[in-house]
Amino acid sequence: MKNLFDLKGKVALVTGGNGGIGIGMAEGLAMHGASVVIWGTNEEKNARAAERLRQHGGDVRAAVIDVSDEDAVKAGVADILKEFGRLDQAIANAGISIRRKDLFDISIEDFRKMEGVNLHGVLFTLREAARHMVERAKNGDGGGSLVGIASTAAIHGAARNEHYAATKGAVVTMCRAMAVELARYKITVNSICPGWVRSEMTAGAQGWDKFNENVISRVPMGGWADGEDFSAIAVYLASPASRFHTGDTLVIDGAYTIY
């Protein structure tokens, strides 16, 4: 029987792929034979991540791309196609968070900054990848996987974080709409809602005793997730095993949101 999770010959893009969830996903893809492109805004972090991924023997590229810049995303995808000739999976993982504020203190500038990366960046990335996948399908080579990384903030009440929650809820519904529109081309589109994950974004909370006692202690699986906990889902969504799995929102949070 053919190995459903063999990704040799496939090319995957992971934005925000130089740390946290992103590098965990990228590493899973590299381990299973995919060529991997990571985008991040820190060149030094990109280089370290790329070196780590190359330990698995595959073809790895890294580029400094700000996903909130539509032209940069278009150029970045064009570079991937020029280099590899195809793109089989795009994971729009890049995201930001800014200091929590009371609802009445959230400025339009705060909202627009969050929206630029967390929502527009996802749209630009998945749309440009889809543009290529649709053209390929019209030439008889259908298929492809698009993944938007949302958050459990899209599900539960994220007090003093309405601007972040709004962008992540929008990612979920946008991916559902894309799933319906692109299904005719055999392109799957899914979103993922991670819970509390160790990363640079959550570094402050990780060392905050009160937060760990009051919030992390309520995660039924216990403790924080790591980027590596998202490796398998990236591989599954890139593989033939998920060819009929689309329009879904996968929650990976150690059962936090249902407890």
Residue 164 bears catalytic tag: yes
Sign of the CA dihedral running 18, 21, 22, 27: positive
Q: How far is CA 56 from CA 29, 80, 83, 124, in A?
A: 10, 20, 20, 29
Tokens representing 166 are 């709004």
Sign of the CA dihedral running 187, 188, 191, 194: negative
Which of 164, 185, 236, 259 is an active site residue? Answer: 164
Nearest-CA neighbor of 129 among 94, 167, 91? 91
**Under 8 Å between Cβ of 14 and 25:** yes
Q: How far apart are CA 178 and CA 147, in angstroms?
A: 10
Q: Give the active site residues.
A: 164
